[in-house]
Amino acid sequence: MTRAKLQDGVHIFKENKEEVTAEQLKLMRTQDIKYIEMKRVAEAKKIERLKSELHLLDFQGKQQKKHVFFFDTKKEVERFDVATHLQTAPELVDRVYNRPRIETLQKERVKGATPQTGLKRIAKERQKQYDCLTQRIEREKQLFVVAQKIQTRKDLMDKTQKVKVKKETVNSPAIYRFQTRRKR
């Protein structure tokens, strides 16, 4: 009855915050920690492979890089033009990657998909791959949390004295402080 409270003659139950999601509970009850670690490592390898393919050039979740130019006077700042300084076309200034110079554009033809429909299709495929990458990263984090929770429960089976420091949440296991004991 620690969760129940009598208020104006009516029983009111305190709602506990969810410590474990249904998926985590199912995994913890049915699977071994070694299996979960194996799955987590497999996810990490897939994430690395996707990252190497995508290069994360224009990924929205990534912090944008800043190109800093230094000047001595305020006049130079007012007269400054990014396109002329980088020697590229004004349309290509905002691109993070593949920013060819004007002389390169004059000498060589532009290679790649030039029709607008082809560019849209490529952008859509790239976005799908980025979405897949974010899902895999999230799944890897979830498996890591489940593995930590299982390990914590295994550690609790030990007979040593322990004190709970922090409660279990959806994103982290409970934290305990065990009595220090010298092992011989």
pLDDT in the model for residue 16: 67
pLDDT in the model for residue 72: 92
Under the banding of pLDDT at 50, 70 and 90, the label for residue 142 is: very high
Residues 88-118 have pLDDT tens digits of: 888 888 776 678 888 888 888 766 656 777 7
CA dist 153 and 143 (Å) reads: 15
pTM flag (> 0.85): no
Q: For residue 153, what are its two tokens?
A: 């429960």
pLDDT in the model for residue 21: 79
CA dist 133 and 47 (Å) reads: 6
Exposed / middle / buried, residue 184 (Cβ in 10 Å: 0-12, 13-18, 19+)? exposed
pLDDT in the model for residue 167: 92
Under the banding of pLDDT at 50, 70 and 90, the label for residue 57 is: low
Under the banding of pLDDT at 50, 70 and 90, the label for residue 121 is: confident
Decide if 143 contacts 39 (C-beta within 8 A). yes
Mean pLDDT of the chain: 83
